Structure 1
Amino acid sequence: MGRGPVELKRIENKINRQVTFSKRRNGLLKKAYELSVLCDAEVALIVFSSRGKLYEFSSVGMNRTLERYQRCCYTPQDNSAIDRETQNWYQEVSKLKAKYESLQRSQRHLLGEDLGPLSIKELQNLEKQLEGALSQARQRKTQIMIEQMEELRRKERHLGDINKQLKNKLEAGQGSLRAIQGSWDSTPLVDANNTFPAHPTQSNSMDCEPTLQIGYHHYVPPEGSTVPRSVACESNFIQGWVL
């Protein structure tokens, strides 16, 4: 009993549809290969599945076959359109080339080269162009120099302010040093009871750390003092080597 005709419609069952696609795709690729071999034909086959997956076959190369297909599909009207577009591009290239040559010639003229073919009027125009360019260059140079001078003046003022601040700090420090030296000079070495006070660098408080004084201050007894010279020398020695 033979098979009946298969109704050509979309297979609703997803699994059956996928199985049928796989079988018939393989058969189609096999037939394309057999056709290219048996008949020496240039065959190209492109298949996209429902999921977007690509399957292809080409007997001589897909790009080569597609290019041949595009050449065969062009009509004379399309060829004329391409010719017109090519001609337009050729004219555009010619214009750009002429403009480029003109710019090169103008550059040589500005550099003082190839001035022989120029007429007097052209030379006068060239002279005006050079004068205008020179004037603009000088103006720009002057502007840059003025900006640099302003920047240097700002730096000078800033450094002057810093110098004044340092000078004020130095004068304040010197004033404090003079005050300390004045307090040392006003400290008597012998009090009214002919006793020797502590050295100015020492403190009466026991909380201060001990210091070592190397050398001694030369003590000269005042006029009319009853302190013997030997006691004065001894006080110099003791006061000079206080720990």
Structure 2
Amino acid sequence: MKKMGRGKLEIKKIENKTNRQVTFSKRRNGIMKKAQELTVLCDAKVSLLMISSTHKLYHFLSPGVSLKKMYDEYQKIKGVDLWLKHWEEMQEEQRRMVELNNMLRTEISRRLGGDLEGLTLAELRGLQQEMDEAITEIRNRKYNVIKNQTGTTRKKVKNLEERHGDLLMDLEAKFGGAQFGTGDGEQGNYDSASMYGNEGAAANLFALSLHPY
């Protein structure tokens, strides 16, 4: 328990979100003020960082002091290296990435027929099997593409045939279902078709299409 003025306040998390935000704001301002007073009154180097429960950052640095300088001085006084572990982790990550990159380059080269000298018979067989499976996949994909394209072409042809049939039916209805011919024995029918020349070339085409074979 800690005394605060005349009453007693139990130090624990404030459950009410609004009250917690108000308390943080008030005490944050108080800490900032104390840090500034220490800097002025005691010629102290002060670095203060605060992160609220809403993930907002607040900080105070003494005039003329950077955060890096504070870290460097801290490391010097404590005799520790805060960056060494991080640097080592970065170096290890770089080593792994370089190794992975080299491995991928080798795999690509082998699939193009290079870098095969150091492979054993079993490894060569495995590589050949992978290549055969890849070729099968490519062929299947090519077959599907051709099949889809052929289906589209057939659909277009079918649509054209349907349109042609509709046109013939329209012309037949227009000319009363007359049968016209172009042969020598049916000159009269052909002459009859010629009577409709004022209807345009479509009528003549219709007459020819109705000629019995």
Q: TM-score range by the shorter chain?
A: 0.3 to 0.5
Give the TM-score, by structure 2 length: 0.47
Give the TM-score, by structure 1 length: 0.43
